C-alpha cells in the first residue's frame, strides 16, 4: 500500500524526492450533509473520490486508505439534523486523528463545510500524548462562514462552522465533534473570502482573524507568505480547508453559492502547492462538490486540478 | 359584513347574547413557512380556511375580513429563510394590529409556530397609543418550543419561537417581527406541553413560565383557572396559540411531531371556550395543520371542533 | 437628647409604651441630587426637615441627631454627576451605619431616590461584625425605578436605583455606595407601583420581586401582610423607602412625576405605621419632596402625615 | 448476594415487606478528595464503609456490590486537582449509572461534596435509553455550597458543587463528570442550610431553589412534604445528598465546618426514612466523614444512625 | 443649484478641476441636543450654518440643499431625552442617506456628538441596494467618547456615542438611529484623542481601534496615511466626524470640554483636506460649536478654517 | 539613608552616574502565600531579602526602607484563603504606592505571583492626583498565569493573576487589591512564557497581549526592543514582574513548576538591566523563591544575579 509519486508534472516543475518515504494519503469521505432541504447523504464525496482515484492512478499515487464516515446504528436513531452533524464530526475526528497518528496524511472529501469541526478536531488529537495540539486553520472559501445564530439570515448551519470552531457559538456542537479548546482567532487565516453578510463582516472585523485577498494569494505576495509561514511556525499543525466555491464562479458551475472574482483552479492549485510543501500542514479538506450532472465534468476538472496542486506540494516536502 | 351568531350549539349549552354587537372575526392567513425542507409556502392555512369558512357558514357566522400575509416584491428578493420569516412576521404584526384596532378579533391560520412573533407583536401594538400593550400568552402545544440555538438538536427555527418571544435568543428576528419588549416569562402559561428536549426542559424550569398539564386543563381545575384568570387580570391583552400537535396523536393524524397523551378535540374545545369567554383574550392562532391528503378529513374535523369551542367562547362574552 | 413620645394620637389609637427606652431618631439629610438639569443641591431635605422638626416638637419627640451628608473637599473637585452621587452614597452609608450601630433609628430626608444605595448600604453595615447584614427593601413609589441603561428612555439615573441595588447594572456605582452584596430580588417588595416603562416592566416581571398593589396595601390585606412579615422573618433588617410620588397625584402637587391612583397620606401613613411596628424595620427614607413654593404647604402636609404614621409605628414597638 | 431485611427496628415501626424483592444496595466508595491541603485520598469513605458493613450485618442486610472509584493509570498522570475531581466524577457517574440500571440502589460513601456531580450524572444516565433522565436533588448540608469562583472567599471547590451542578459556573468540570443538562434550580430543594456567605446567599435568593429550614424538616411539616412530594412527582428520579455537617455541631465532632442548630441524627434519620420511602429516590450519598481518631466513634455513630433511617425507608417501599 | 468652485485658495495650492461635475453639498442641521441640563435645541448648528453660508459664498460655492432635522408631532410627545436623541438620529439617518443617494455630499452641522449614530447610519444606507454599506469612521475629538454606562463618571450620553456606534452598549439607541450592523472596531480611526477616563481608556485599549496622535496627524506622517488609505480601501464609504474640542484649547474658546495640545485650525484643515480628497469619504460632520457670544467670533473663525480645508479637499478630487 | 552605587560591575560595563541623586530602593516583603497546601506564610521573601541585603551591601547600596506586608488583627480573623490574598494585596498596594510617591523604587520580594495585583495597584496609585496612572506590565514567567476558573485544571489561584489583572475574572479579588481599572491587554508584554495549558493558550491568543520568546529576549532583538519601548512610551509607568521559574530549569532548582528552555540568570539579568534603564519602569517584583534547603544556594545565586542586573539598570538611568 505504498504511494508511488510522479516524477514530474507539467506546470509545477516538481521533481520526485529520492531519499525519503512517500507520504501516504488517507482518503476520508464524509457524506453526511446535515441538510434538511435535500438528501441527508451527499453524493459529492463519492464523486470527488472517483475522479481523484483515477487522477491518483494517472499520477501513480496509490491511495493508502479509504474510509467513509458513518453514524453507529444507535446514533442513526437519534433525532436532530444538527445533532447528527455533531456526531458525524465526532467520527470524522476519530478517523482523522487515527490515520494521522499512523503517519498518513488525511485528505477529507467532505459533503460540506460543517465537517470543518471534525477535521480540526482530528488534527488537534493527532499528537502523541493526551494533550491537544495547537492547530492553525487556512480557510479557502468565497464566504467567511462566520455567522452565528444571532447574525444568520438563513439559519443554515453551513454558514457558521468557522464561528463554531472559533468558539463564538454552538459550543455543544463543537464539543460533540471533539474540538476543545476552540481555535484561537489568531490561528485562522482566511483567503479569497469575498462575500460576507453585513453582520458576519462585523464579527470578522472585530476578531483577530487574518484576511488575505484573492489577489494576494494568487500573487503569493509577501504578506501572504509571511502570514502563512508565521502561522506554521507558531502552531503544532495546520489544516487547510477548501470550499470549492472559493473558485471563480465559471470554474465551479453548479455550486449553489458561487461568487465571482475567485482564483481559477490553476492559481489555487499553485498556492496550495506552495502551502502544502510546509510540513506543518497536516491535513487537507475539500468540501461542497456540486453534483449537478450537466456541469459535473467541468467542476470535477477544476476540483482535481486544485487537489493536484496540493498533492504536488506534499510530494515536494 | 356583520356576524350572525348561532343561537345554540349542542354540547356547549351556549345561548346567543341579545343586546351587544356580534364580534367580528378577521381571518388572517400566514402561509410562509420559513421551511427549507419543503415548499416555502404552506397549504395548511388555506385548507383550514376552507373548512372554517364552511363551518362558520353552518354556524351562520360571516367572516368579516380575510387577509393573506405576503412579502413585498422587494422583500421577495431578499436572501435567507429565517430573515424571510422575520419579515413575514412584520407583516402579520401590522395586519393583526390593524384589524384589532378596528375592533375585530384576529383569528390566525398559521403555517407553523414561527408566526407566534407576529401574532404577539400584533397584540402588542393593538392599543390606542404608541405605547405597547402588556401581552400574555397561552401556549397550547405538545412541545414547549423553547429551544435556543445553543440547545437545539435539529436547528429548526420552529422549535424556538417561545424562546425568541421571551427574549432568550435571536433578538434580531424578534425585532423584525416588531415584538419589543419581549414577553416576560411570568406572562406565559404553557398547557399540555408533554415533550421537551432535555436541555430545553432545563431552560423552561429555570424560567418563570407556568406549566399546566393536560389533565389540569381538561379538568379545568382550580389551578388552571386561577393561573389563567390571574394572567388575564394583570396584562392588557392575551393571545392564545394552538399548535395542532397539542391534540392527542390519533386526533391529528399526519402531524410530523404528534405526541400521545394530549387532549381530544372536544376537551380542548371546551377549555378554549372557557378561556375565550374572557374579554382580555384578543386573538387566537392555529398553526401546523397537517396537509397529507389521506388523513386530511380527520385532521380538519379535529381542528374545526377546537376552533368552534373558541368561537363559542367568543360569542359567550 | 432623649425622645419624649406623645401619649396618644387621634386616628391611630396609639398608647405610649411605658417600660422601654424611647427610640432615638437620627435625621439624615442627603441634599446631593446628582442632577444635571437643575441645581446639584436640592432644597427638599431641608424643607422636609423644617416641617418635621416642628411636627416632632408638637409630638414632643426630640430629634436625637441631625446630620447632613457632604462630599469632602477633595471629592468636591471630582468630575462627573453619577460619580458624585456614588461618593455621596458612600457618606450616607457611613452615616446611617454609624447611627444605627449607636442604637438610633435613621430617618433619611433624601433629595431623590438615588440615595437608595446609601441607605441600603448603611443598613447592610449596621451589624456588630464585619459581616454584612441581610437587608430587605420595601419600595413605596409610583414607579419601579428598575430601568437599566439599556432600557431607559430618559437616561436619568433616578429611574434606575432599584435595578442598581439589585445588581442589574452600574455595579461600580453600587460599590462606591458600599452596597455589596446586591439586594436579592426575593428580598424586594414593591408597593403601589403603577407606572412602569414597557421594557422596565419586562425586567420586573422576569425577576423575583414581589408586587403589592395600592389596593392591597391600603386594605392591609392578607397577601400584603404575609409578604411583609415573611420578608421581615427571613432578613436581618428591613429598609422602607418612600418616593413621595407614591401618593395619589392631588396629594403631592408639584411632584415632577406624579401618577394617579396612589394612596392618600392617611392610607399610606396607616400602612407605614403597621410596618414600622415590626422591629426588623431599621430605617426609613423619604425622597423627592417637591419644592415649588405655591404648593409646598399641601405637599408638606401630606409628607408629614405619612411620616407621622411611621413614627407612631416606631413608638408602638 | 441477596439482601435480607430486618423485620422490625425500634423507633421506626418498620415491618418487612413480604411480597417483593429486597432492594439491593451497591456501596460506591469515592475516596478522591480533590484536596490540595491534605492527602488526595480521603479515609472517610473506607471508615464509613467499615461501620456500615457491620451495621448492615447487624440489620441482616447484605451488601450487594462494593466498588471503589479510581482513576485510570493514564488519568493518574494528568495534572490538576480540579481536573482530577472531574475525571473521578466521570467514573462515579459510570459506576452509579451501571449499578442503577442493574436494579441496585447506589449508596455513595463520598470523600466530600465534590462527588455531587458524579452522583447526579449517574442518576441522569440510569434510564433505559440514551435520553438523560430528569433528576431532582435533595441537598442536606449546613451550607448551600452555591458559591462560584466570583463569590468564593476561600477558593475551595468544595464550596461550589451545587452551583456547578446547576450550571452556574465551571461547565467543563460538570461535563467531565458527565452531567448534561445541568440540574434546573426548580428541581433543587435545600434542607437545613444555615450558613451561607453573603454573596452566596444573594445567588441562592436570586434562584428558583427551594429552602426548607431545619425546623420544617424536623417537624416533617406540610410545606416540607408538599415540596418533596411535588419534586418527586415531576422528575424521573431523585438523589439525596447528605454532607454530615448538616448535623448539629455536637453530633458530628471533628467536622471542619460544623454549624450549630442542625438536626440530631435521630431527627435526620427519621426525615430520611420518610423521603427514602418514595420510590422516586434513586440514590443516596453521604459525604465528608470527619476522620479524627479521637472523635471518630461519636461521628460514626451519628452517621450510621442517619443512614439506618435511609435504609429503613428503602425497605418500607 | 450648481456649485461653483473657487479656482485657487492660498495655502492649499488648489486648482479647480476642469472636466467633472462640481460636488454638491447638502447642509444638514441637527439642533436636537438630547440635553437635560440646558435647552433641548442647540443654537450651534444654526450659528455654524450662518458662518458657513457666508464663507461658501465667498468661495463661490452654492449650497445645494439645506435641511433641518426635526421630530414629528407624534414623536414630539414622546417621553425621554435619550429616546428623543434616538428618534432624531433616525431622521438624520434618513436625510443623509437620501441626499447621498442623490449624489450630494452631506455636511452635518451637529449640536453634539450624539449625532454620530445618525450620520453613520445615513452613510450605511446610502448604497444603491437594501444591503448596508461597510462604513469607516475617522473620529477627530479631544475625547474618545467611548464610555459605556458601566464606565461613565458623568452619565452623559455625549461621552458614549463611539461605544454605541461600535455596538458596545445601548443597542436600542443604535437601532433607533438605524445603525445596524454596528461599526467594527477595525474600521474606526481616532485622531488627536488626548483625554480619556481611566476606565474608558481600558475599553479603547482592549479594542481594535487605531489611535493616531495629534503629532502624527499634523505631520501627515506615514503611519497616519497608511492607516487612513488602508481604511478607505477596505470599506465602501468613510465618514469623518469632528468635535470642535479636537482643536487646541485656545483656538476654540468657550467649549465646555476643551483640552490642550490639539492641532490648530490650519493644521486640522490641512489634514482634513488631505483626507477629503479621497473619494471614499462620503460625509463630514462638525459638532459641538460653543455658542458663548463673547468668544463666538474666534470659535467661528476656527471652525470655518477647518471646514474650508475639507471643502478644498472635496474640490480636489 | 542614601544609596551609594558601585562604580563598575564586571560584565555590564556600568559606570556610576555623577550628577544625580542615587535611586532609593524600598524593599517590600509580601510573605502571605494564599496557599492552602502549605504554610500560609512563605519564607521565600525573607530568604531573598537576606541574600539581597548582603549583595546590596557588597554593591555598597543601602536599602532605604524595608517593609513587610501584614493583615490587620481584624482581617486576621477573616475567613478564606482567596479573600486573605485580596486583603494582603490591598496592603501591598498601599505600601508600594506610598513608597513610590516618596520617590523610592519599590522592589517587591513576593511569596508568589498572586502579589501581582498589589504591585500593579501600587503603581496605579503612585501618581500625584487621585487619578489612576496608566500601567504597563512586563511579565517574565515560564507560564502565562492567564487561566480563569473556567479553564484552570488545578484550581490554583496562582495560575490566574494575569487574567485577574486584565479583568478576565475574579473582579472582586482585583478590587480588594485596589486595581481599577484592569490592565488593558495591549499594555501587557509576556516574555519567555513557554508553558501554557491549552485552554489558557486559547485565551492568550484571543487577547491583545504581546508575546516575546526567550530567544527574542535573550538576543534583545529589534522586536523585543520596539515592543518594550513602545509600551514605555504610551503608559505612565511600567511594572516588571519576575516569577523565578522563568529561568531555565537547572538554574532554579527546587521550583515546583520549573520548565526547560528559559534564559539563564546572566541572560535575564542583562535583559532586565536593559529594561530597568528606562525611567518609566517604576517597580520590580520577584516571586516564588524555592525554599528547599538543599538547593537554596544555587537558587539564591541565580536570583541575585537577576536582581543585580535590574539594580544596575536602575543605576544607569
pLDDT in tens, F124-177: 999 999 999 999 999 999 999 999 999 999 999 999 999 999 999 999 999 999
Phi, psi for F137 (deg, rounded to 5): -125, 125
On whether the CB atoms of residues F140 and F246 are closer than 8 A, the answer is yes
F47 vs A260, higher pLDDT: F47
On whether the CB atoms of residues F112 and F140 are closer than 8 A, the answer is no
**DSSP designation for D238:** E
Residue D85 corresponds to which cell in the numbers above?
A: 475531581
Residue A219 corresponds to which cell in the numbers above?
A: 500573487
Give the CA distances from residue F71 to residues B139, F74, F176, in Å, rounded to whole numbers and listed in that order. Answer: 58, 8, 13
**Which pLDDT belongs to residue A83?**
96
Q: How far, in Å, CA of A144 to CA of A136, rounded? A: 16
Handedness of CA E6, E7, E10, E11 (dihedral sign): positive
Among A244, A150, A159, which residue's Cα sits nearest to residue A196? A159
Contacts of F256 by beta carbon, 8 Å cutoff, 6+ apart = F245, F290
Neighbouring subunits of C (3+ Cβ pairs under 8 A): B, D, E, F
Give the count of Cβ contacts less than 8 A between chain C and E.
66
Nearest residue, CB atoms, B198 vs list D181, D186, D208? D181
| Chain D contact set for C184 (CB, 8 A) | 201-202, 205-206
**Which pLDDT belongs to residue F36?**
61
Residue B129 corresponds to which cell in the numbers above?
A: 397609543
**Which pLDDT belongs to residue D5?**
30
Contacts of B297 by beta carbon, 8 Å cutoff, 6+ apart = none
Residue B155 corresponds to which cell in the numbers above?
A: 436547528
Nearest residue, CB atoms, C82 vs list E79, E155, E170? E155
On whether the CB atoms of residues B252 and B209 are closer than 8 A, the answer is no
Contacts of F58 by beta carbon, 8 Å cutoff, 6+ apart = none
Among C186, C167, C155, C305, which residue's Cα sits nearest to residue C244? C305
On whether the CB atoms of residues F200 and A202 are closer than 8 A, the answer is no
Q: Chain E residue closest to C158 (CA)?
A: E155
The per-residue pLDDT of chain F, averaged, comes to 91
Nearest residue, CB atoms, B155 vs list A150, A153, A157? A157
Over the range D22-58, which residues count as b (16 or more CB within 10 Å of their CB) and which as e?
A: bbbbbbbbbbbbbbbeeeeebebbbbbbebbeebbee
CB count within 10 Å of CB F236 equals: 17
B272 by Cβ neighbours in 10 Å (0-12 / 13-18 / 19+) ranks as buried
Best mean pLDDT range from C33-37, E25-29, F40-44? E25-29
On whether the CB atoms of residues F223 and F246 are closer than 8 A, the answer is no
Contacts of B272 by beta carbon, 8 Å cutoff, 6+ apart = B240, B242, B284, B306, B307, B309, B310, B313
On whether the CB atoms of residues A197 and A150 are closer than 8 A, the answer is no
**DSSP designation for B54:** H
Edge-to-edge strand order for the sheet containing E135-140?
Answer: E65-68, E24-30, E104-110, E281-287, E237-243, E135-140, E188-191, E210-212
Q: Which long-range contacts (CB under 8 A, 24 or more apart) does F4-9 make?
A: F4/F60, F4/F61, F4/F62, F5/F59, F5/F60, F5/F61, F5/F315, F6/F59, F6/F60, F6/F61, F6/F315, F9/F59, F9/F308, F9/F312
User: Cβ of E184 and A199 within 8 Å?
Assistant: no
Q: How far, in Å, CA of A36 to CA of A85, rounded? A: 11
Instruction: Report the Cα E60 to chain-centroid distance in Å.
Output: 23
What are the helix (H) ranges across chain E?
44-58, 73-76, 81-101, 116-124, 161-165, 171-176, 198-205, 214-219, 222-234, 265-276, 296-315
On whether the CB atoms of residues D11 and D2 are closer than 8 A, the answer is no
Q: Name residue E41's beta-bridge partners.
A: E32
Q: Which residue out of E205, E209, E213 would a mutagenesis test of the F interface target, given it has the greatest number of F Cβ atoms within 10 Å?
A: E205
**Which pLDDT belongs to residue D20?**
61
**Strand pairing class (D237-243; D210-212):** unpaired
C274 by Cβ neighbours in 10 Å (0-12 / 13-18 / 19+) ranks as middle
**Which pLDDT belongs to residue F37?**
59
**Which pLDDT belongs to residue E38?**
62
On whether the CB atoms of residues E295 and E253 are closer than 8 A, the answer is yes
Contacts of A185 by beta carbon, 8 Å cutoff, 6+ apart = A166, A207, A208, A209, F205, F206
Q: Name residue F128's beta-bridge partners.
A: none
On whether the CB atoms of residues B145 and B162 are closer than 8 A, the answer is yes
**Cα atoms in the Cβ-side hemisphere of radius 13 Å centred on B51:** 21
Q: Which residue out of C121, C179, C181, C234 would a mutagenesis test of the D interface target, given it has the greatest number of D Cβ atoms within 10 Å?
A: C181
pLDDT in single tens digits along all 317 residues of chain B = 233 333 333 334 334 445 566 789 999 999 998 776 567 788 999 999 999 999 998 888 877 789 999 999 999 999 999 999 999 999 999 999 999 999 999 999 999 999 999 999 999 999 999 999 999 999 999 999 999 999 999 999 999 999 999 999 999 999 999 999 999 999 999 999 999 999 999 999 999 999 999 999 999 999 999 999 999 999 999 999 999 999 999 999 877 777 889 999 999 999 999 999 999 999 999 999 998 888 899 999 999 999 999 999 999 99
Q: Which residue out of A76, A83, A130 would a mutagenesis test of the D interface target, given it has the greatest number of D Cβ atoms within 10 Å?
A: A130
Interface of D with B (CB under 8 A): 131-132, 134, 167, 180-182, 184-187, 208
Residue D181: pLDDT band by 50, 70, 90 thresholds? very high
In total, chain D counts a number of residues equal to 317
The per-residue pLDDT of chain E, averaged, comes to 91
Q: Name residue E143's beta-bridge partners.
A: E195
3-state secondary structure at position E227: helix
Q: How far, in Å, CA of A251 to CA of B231, rounded? A: 61
D38 vs A211, higher pLDDT: A211
3-state secondary structure at position B135: strand
Share of chain A above pLDDT 70, in %: 92
pLDDT tens column, C208-218: 999 999 999 99
Residue F5: pLDDT band by 50, 70, 90 thresholds? very low
Nearest residue, CB atoms, F198 vs list A132, A187, A208? A132
On whether the CB atoms of residues C248 and C263 are closer than 8 A, the answer is yes
On whether the CB atoms of residues F56 and F65 are closer than 8 A, the answer is no
Instruction: Report the Cα B115 to chain-centroid distance in Å.
Output: 8
CB count within 10 Å of CB A286 equals: 24
Cis peptide bond prior to B56, omega within 30° of 0: no
**DSSP designation for B157:** G
Which range (A171-175, D290-294, E208-212, E285-289) has the least confidence?
D290-294
Q: Chain B residue closest to C197 (CA)?
A: B131
Q: How far, in Å, CA of A268 to CA of A309, rounded? A: 8
**Which pLDDT belongs to residue E278?**
98
Q: How far, in Å, CA of C286 to CA of C299, rounded? A: 13
| Chain B contact set for C206 (CB, 8 A) | 184-186, 208
**Which pLDDT belongs to residue C12?**
42
Phi, psi for C212 (deg, rounded to 5): -115, 125
Phi, psi for F154 (deg, rounded to 5): -100, -20
Q: How far, in Å, CA of D63 to CA of D107, rounded? A: 10
**Which pLDDT belongs to residue D13?**
38
**Which pLDDT belongs to residue B3?**
31
> Which helix (H) or strand (E) segment is D106 a member of?
strand D105-110
Which ipTM value was assigned to this complex? 0.90
**Which pLDDT belongs to residue F15?**
41
Among A244, A264, A262, which residue's Cα sits nearest to residue A254? A244
Residue B18 corresponds to which cell in the numbers above?
A: 341579545
Q: How far, in Å, CA of F122 to CA of F105, rounded? A: 11
The C-alpha of B170 sits at a distance from chain D's nearest C-alpha, in angstroms, of: 21
Using CA atoms in the order C15, C18, C19, C21, what is the torsion angle rounded to 10 degrees?
80
Q: How far, in Å, CA of B253 to CA of E70, rounded? A: 58
CB count within 10 Å of CB F72 equals: 10
| Chain B contact set for E175 (CB, 8 A) | 175
**Which pLDDT belongs to residue E122?**
98
Nearest residue, CB atoms, C130 vs list F74, F130, F175? F74
Which range (B298-307, D190-199, E252-261) has the least confidence?
E252-261
**Which pLDDT belongs to residue D36?**
61
Amino acid at each position: 500500500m505504498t504511494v508511488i509519486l510522479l516524477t514530474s508534472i507539467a506546470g509545477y516543475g516538481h521533481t520526485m524526492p529520492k531519499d525519503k518515504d512517500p507520504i501516504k494519503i488517507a482518503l476520508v469521505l464524509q457524506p453526511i450533509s446535515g441538510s434538511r432541504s435535500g438528501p441527508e447523504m451527499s453524493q459529492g464525496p463519492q464523486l470527488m473520490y472517483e475522479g481523484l482515484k483515477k487522477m491518483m492512478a494517472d499520477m501513480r499515487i496509490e491511495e493508502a486508505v479509504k474510509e467513509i464516515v458513518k453514524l453507529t446504528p444507535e446514533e442513526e436513531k437519534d433525532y436532530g439534523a444538527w445533532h447528527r452533524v455533531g456526531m458525524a464530526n465526532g467520527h470524522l475526528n476519530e478517523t482523522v486523528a487515527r490515520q494521522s497518528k499512523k503517519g498518513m496524511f488525511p485528505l477529507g472529501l467532505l459533503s460540506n463545510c460543517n465537517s470543518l469541526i471534525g477535521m480540526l478536531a482530528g488534527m488537534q488529537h493527532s499528537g502523541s500524548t493526551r494533550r491537544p495540539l495547537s492547530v492553525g486553520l487556512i480557510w479557502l472559501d468565497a464566504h467567511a462562514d462566520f455567522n452565528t445564530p444571532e447574525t444568520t439570515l438563513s439559519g443554515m448551519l453551513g454558514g457558521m462552522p468557522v464561528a463554531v470552531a472559533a468558539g463564538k457559538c454552538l459550543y455543544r456542537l463543537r464539543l460533540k465533534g471533539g474540538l476543545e479548546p476552540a481555535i484561537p482567532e489568531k490561528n485562522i487565516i482566511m483567503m479569497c473570502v469575498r462575500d460576507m453578510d453585513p453582520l458576519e463582516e462585523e464579527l470578522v472585523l472585530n476578531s483577530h482573524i487574518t484576511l488575505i485577498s484573492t489577489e494576494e494569494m494568487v500573487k503569493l505576495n509577501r504578506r501572504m507568505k509571511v502570514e502563512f509561514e508565521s502561522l506554521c511556525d507558531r502552531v503544532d499543525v495546520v489544516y487547510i480547508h477548501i470550499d470549492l466555491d472559493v473558485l471563480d464562479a465559471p470554474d465551479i458551475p453548479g455550486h449553489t453559492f458561487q461568487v465571482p472574482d475567485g482564483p481559477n483552479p490553476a492559481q489555487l492549485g499553485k498556492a496550495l502547492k506552495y502551502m502544502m510543501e510546509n510540513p506543518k500542514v497536516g491535513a487537507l479538506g475539500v468540501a461542497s462538490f456540486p453534483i449537478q450532472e450537466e456541469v459535473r465534468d467541468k467542476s470535477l476538472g477544476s476540483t482535481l486540478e486544485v487537489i493536484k496542486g496540493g498533492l504536488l506540494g506534499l510530494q515536494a516536502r
